[in-house]
């Protein structure tokens, strides 16, 4: 009889501990994918060109989202940028760049 009660209590405690361990991280961390793009030339922006502007737009979108949702802190993963080939638009060389990042709160 004593072994049955101990086993029942042990199973209950393990199940409760498992539930607590599994529910807290799922509630605390939710991640979203953000993306921003820019179509432009590098001639007038020597600091980063189209790639830097796409990255700046991405960071601005993340900051606006953070303020809108009321989150105090967010974790931004590595920002990946990818740029297409060059083409002529308005007699200037242009390219389209896309910046992506994963953001968790």
| Residue matched to tokens 């638009």 | 89
pLDDT given at position 7: 43
* Beta carbons within 10 angstroms of residue 74's beta carbon: 15
- List the one residue out of 103, 100, 102, 99 whose CA is nearest residue 50: 99
Prediction pTM value:
0.68
Task: Report pLDDT digits (tens) over 66-92.
Answer: 999 999 899 999 999 999 998 888 888
């Amino acid at each position: 009889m004593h072994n049955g009660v101990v086993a029942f209590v042990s199973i209950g405690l393990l199940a409760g501990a498992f539930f607590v361990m599994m529910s807290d991280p799922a509630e605390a961390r939710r991640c979203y994918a953000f993306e921003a793009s820019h179509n432009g030339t590098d001639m007038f922006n020597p600091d980063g060109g189209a790639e830097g502007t796409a990255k700046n737009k991405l960071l601005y979108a993340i900051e606006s989202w953070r303020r809108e949702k009321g989150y105090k802190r967010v974790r931004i993963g590595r920002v990946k940028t990818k740029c297409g080939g060059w083409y002529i638009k308005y007699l200037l060389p242009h390219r389209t760049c896309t910046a992506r990042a994963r953001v968790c709160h």
